Structure 1
Amino acid sequence: MKPTKAALTGLLAILAALAAGHLVAAFVGLSASPYLAVGNAAIDLTPTWLKEFAVTTFGTNDKLVLLTGMAVVLVATGIAAGLASRNTPTPGTVIAVALGLLGIAAVLTRPDVGQLSVLAPLASLAAGVYVFRHLHEESTQDESRRDFLITAGLAVAAGVTGQLLGTRTDVEGSRQAIGDLTPKTKVPDLPVGADFARDGTPAFITSAKDFYRIDTALSVPRIRAEEWTLRIHGMVDRPAVLTFDEIRKRDLIEETVTLTCVSNEVGGPYISTANFIGIRIGDVLREAGVKAGADQLFSTSDDGFTAGSPLDYVLERGLIAIGMNGEPLPAEHGFPARLVVPGLYGYVSATKWVTDLNVTTFAKEQGYWIPRGWAARAPIKTMSRIDRPKGLSKVSGRTVVAGTAWAQPKGVAKVEVRADGGPWQEAELGADVSDSTWRMWRLELDLKPGSHTVECRATDKTGYTQDQARLDPIPDGATGWHSISFTVQ
């Protein structure tokens, strides 16, 4: 067999296998698609240091990079399998079977798929082996080009059909049918001067499209509100199941909350603020009757992600949120419902697409990130960052330094700035909206032309000033003073 035909044989077999698996997954659960299942398994098995590198390097594009890298590896594997099988189909068959078994193993270990989901990787294995051996046999005939074209066309059609069928759940229609969410208790209008957006800080309220998203989901769960339920069980006297409609009929409250990702480096972007609408988790748990000795609320997402929140935090201030900035939650931010617990990093508190609440203890259950080296309890640290000027920028005239500080749920009392290691100067603070939100600040500096370095530090309302020592995010959040260097012209 010619090298070109051999390489194309292996490549088309890979394409056919992925397409067949994706098509069957459309009927048994899209997460069972071998491509996605292996990707999710890779995320689960990736060492913590490598995950942090991916988030730091690629930000919210880390999953796209993973899927692209997997595609490149599969293409290379298919070509290599074909070239190794120029004389006999045995090497390529073995590789096809190995990849199929890998897909089966990945699906069987997923917590968010049912028993029938194994049909997807089985279909992938069968299609990969059959197409490889068929094309290998036909490649010696003049009509092989036609077989290649037909195989490629069928594979593309199967993959596209699987994607269309797998995403056919009308989530947006379900969101639109909910209509306006009118909380009984609304947040007051933002006070004048809540942000210094004109000076370079973010707007105080983050739009849904700009709200940071860090999670483990390769594909966003697609759940209709009409079919969603939330189970409450564990160390409670009266287990219960709530529907979306039952939550909506309760007295909804609205709260302005800043959420922060533990992966945020010093000066990092993974912090956002929104008006969340929902009900108190504490009210639901007290109705269920929390038993003595419980100290953790263990939440599970539709995609299998788990998080453990300290029960005292949850009972005092946690929300089951169904709305964000006046609308039902966007799909990528947890529709139909998610948890919001001010004062805790998201990995232990902000479960999206939440379907299960288990009242338990830290001794009995560990959330997704805990065995991976992160702390079980993760209160947010007092921090601040400089948003303007940007690092290495050039500014003219009197310099305005502006930024953001946060210390949920303690609140920010003071932000100080110093230039070139000089004396600390207290910045002007934006209006104080809530102790559960960030606070903007600004300061004008009269700096001479040349290079300068500016640092900032925040003090919370308990009197604690953020640590100067630079520590990485793992295990419970980064510390350190943010600094930037720039040039005054």
Structure 2
Amino acid sequence: MTARDPTTTEPPARTRPGVLVAALCGVLALLAALAVGHLVAGFISVNASPYLAVGNGAIDLTPVELKDFAVRTFGTHDKLVLLSGMAVVSVGTAALAGLASRRSPWPGTAVVALFGVVGIVAVAVRPDLGPVAILAPLASLVAGVGVFRLLHRAARTRSGGRDEPGAGKSRRSFLVTGAGVLAGSAVAGVGGQLLGSARDATASRAAVGRLVPVRTAPAIPADADFAKLGTPPFLTPNREFYRVDTALTVPQVRTEDWSLRIHGMVEAEKTYRYSDIRNRPLVERTITMTCVSNEVGGPYVSTANFVGVDLADLLEEAGVKRGAEQLLSSSVDGWTSGTPVAAVLDRGRGTMLALGMNGEPLPLEHGFPARLVTPGLYGYVSATKWVVDLEVTTWAARQAYWLERGWGEQAPIKTESRIDTPTGFQKLPAGTVRVAGVAWAQHTGIDKVEVRLDNGPWQQATLSAQVDVDTWRMWWSELEVRPGLHQVTCRAVDRSGYTQTQDRAGTVPDGATGWHTITFTAK
């Protein structure tokens, strides 16, 4: 055996990276992949960002029962919970991929590449994205794999034992490389966000100005609500109006880019620009909207003054053909809704293409620049936001988003009522207790609300003034209670004579039923 010449230069020895370093290789590669994908998406469409595309795909693939649970449990924060959960799972998976690659880079390379493939598939199936959008997840895949290999090589390169000078140099090299990747990812991510926000529709909305209807809604009487007694205000402020939809990010549609196409079973296809609608005589209607995901006693019911045009006018200009049954409306993000044509053409119902809400242009999150509003039908069949396409068709020919997932075809809003005060498990002084709430039976109207204490006799509540049959009514009553635990229940009777059923049913497939009951303690 010959002795090693100490002057001979040998290539650096390669050792397995430590546990923390290995995990960081995977996590930093994931961050780089997502940031680069987001940057490229900034030039195309925010929905082409791989992370958002996968999130939207997850929403579409989630079972109806789980979606309903998410809305009930997290309310308007359901999307934030989804994105946060995805982040935790993705970071954990990336860290495990790095740990599995301490001996060889191939396990981590395969996992990072798989992330990229999932992003490509998610973007490819999006109905609102074209072929060029594939560039975003493709760039994400290339960046993720390249960064992982780079970090893994830096992590495994050493020039001697742990205590030799070369080892410290190697660790510094990995830290420098990792810091560079982190900084580059931050720059790419922020850049993508800035590019995406450049298409923000806020300025376009501000430029619309005031929408002045030629026919205003009747004035709201002073006794239309009992807000001082614990009910909501009659008109829901825009910032408090419920929002339930599938959009992970609020679509940004400028008026100058918006158009509405009407086609299908019509005599003549029509396309309207925003100015075409804005320059028509506008009407204002007061309408209460309800989400089908609203459980008994739930919060997803709100009222606003909407300004727009009669949708029936637009359909009549196109000429609806005999045999048409469904108006399939599509949002700019590809979401679809099916509304009975008969309901849209019913002048007494007053279906609108709405441009404004409570004295201002539609808020971005409520459908700016235009949305549908159909009184008396749950939102999933009647209230498409960011609407850009209307196809006149039949039920057999096309199925809308929620019909494909087992929800009902016809979805009239059910007669329901809710207790707003006292709140559940509230502690109150014994004696006279005021109970107040709301009731609704859109397009029929509320005739009476009754309350009872501890399964005792029903007593009629005092109703607010009725504004019209398409809006909710407030009510209140006073009960004499002794100290102890009590239950109070409410039920509504609509103008048709129908008494709200006590039979409990969930929201799927066409809306919840049952009496709202709350428990409180009197002392």
TM over 0.5: yes
* Other structure's SS at 1:446 match: strand
Measure the CA separation in 2 of the matches of 1:195 and 1:306: 35
1:378 alignment partner AA: A
In the TM superposition, residue 170 of structure 1 has moved relative to its aligned partner by 3.6
- Equivalent residue number for residue 154 of structure 2: 138
The question of 1:246 aligning with 2:276 is answered: yes
Task: Give 3-state SS (helix, strand or coil) of 2:276's partner.
Answer: helix
SS of residue in 1 equivalent to 2:186? helix
SS in 2 for 1:165: helix
Which SS does the other structure have where 2:104 is aligned?
coil
Query: 2:488 and 2:149 mapped to 1: Cα distance?
Result: 65
**Which residue of 1 is the match for residue 260 of structure 2?**
230
Structure 2 residue corresponding to 1:338, chosen from 348, 371, 375? 371
Question: Offset of 1:97 from its aligned partner?
Answer: 1.0
Q: What TM-score comes out, normalization by structure 1 length?
A: 0.99
Say which SS state the counterpart of residue 209 (structure 1) adopts.
helix
2:214 partner SS: coil
1:189 counterpart residue number: 219
The secondary structure found in structure 2 opposite 1:398 is strand
- Is the aligned partner of 1:399 residue 2:433? yes
Give deviations 1:245-279, integer Å, cap 9, x for gaps. 11011010000001100000000000110000000
SS state at 1:422 partner = coil
Contact 1:468/1:481, CA 8 A, preserved across alignment: yes
Q: Deviations over 1:151-201 (max 9, x none)?
A: 000001101110111121141111111111100001122112100111111
Deviation at 1:414, TM superposition (A): 0.6
Is 2:344 aligned against 1:311? no
Which residue pairs with 1:371 in the alignment? 404
C-alpha contact (below 8 Å) 1:261/1:270 kept by paired residues? yes
Shift of 1:136: 0.6
Which residue number corresponds to residue 211 of structure 1?
Answer: 241
Q: Which has the larger Rg?
A: 2
Distance (whole Å) between structure 1 residues aligned to residue 100 and residue 482 of structure 2: 68
| 1:409 equivalent in structure 2 | 443
Cα distance between partner residues in 1 of 2:202 and 2:105: 47
Q: Does the Cα contact within 8 Å between 1:28 and 1:114 map onto a contact in 2?
A: no
**Counterpart-to-counterpart distance in 1, 2:396 and 2:23:** 53
Report the Cα distance in structure 1 between the residues aligned to 2:273 and 2:145, rounded to whole angstroms: 45
Aligned match of 1:483? 517
Length, aligned pairs only: 489
The answer to whether the Cα contact below 8 Å between 1:184 and 1:251 also exists between their aligned partners in 2 is yes
Tell me what 2:423 maps to: 390
Contact 1:307–1:368 at 8 Å: present in 2 too?
yes
Measured against aligned partners, the alpha-carbon deviations of 1:88-121 in whole angstroms (never above 9, x if no partner) come to 1000000011111111111111101111000000
1:354 partner amino acid: V
Match of 2:490 among 453, 456, 459: 456
Answer with 137-146 or 87-96: which moved more: 137-146
Corresponding residue number in structure 1 for 2:160: none
Equivalent in 121, 132, 135 of residue 105 of structure 1: 121
Aligned with 2:481: secondary structure?
coil
Give CA deviations for 1:315-338 in whole Å, capped at 9, x if unaligned: 122100000001000100000000
TM-score for the superposition, normalised by structure 2: 0.93
| Counterpart for residue 348 of structure 1 | 381
Q: Counterparts in 2 of 1:273-312, with a 5 A limit?
A: 273-312=303-342
CA contact (8 A) 1:250 1:279 kept: yes
Counterpart in the other structure of 1:323: 356
Structure 2 residue 162 is matched with structure 1 residue 149: no
Q: Which amino acid is the alignment partner of residue 145 of structure 1? A: L
Amino acid at match of 1:416: E
* Matched residue, 1:62: 78
Q: Deviations over 1:434-486 (max 9, x none)?
A: 10111100011122222211111101111111111000000000000000111
Deviations 1:12-63 (A, max 9, x none): 0000000010000111111011100000000000011111111111111110
RMSD: 0.8
1:360 aligns with 2:407: no
Query: Is 1:438 aligned to 2:454, yes or no?
Result: no
* Partner Cα separation in structure 2 for residue 288 and residue 90 of structure 1: 59
Moved more, 2-11 or 474-483: 2-11
Q: Assess if the C-alpha contact under 8 Å between 1:234 and 1:360 holds in 2.
A: yes
Question: What CA distance in whole angstroms lies between the structure 2 residues aligned with 1:429 and 1:226?
Answer: 45
Question: 4+ runs of 1 displaced by more than 3 Å?
Answer: none
Q: Distance in 1 between matches of 2:484 and 2:281?
A: 58
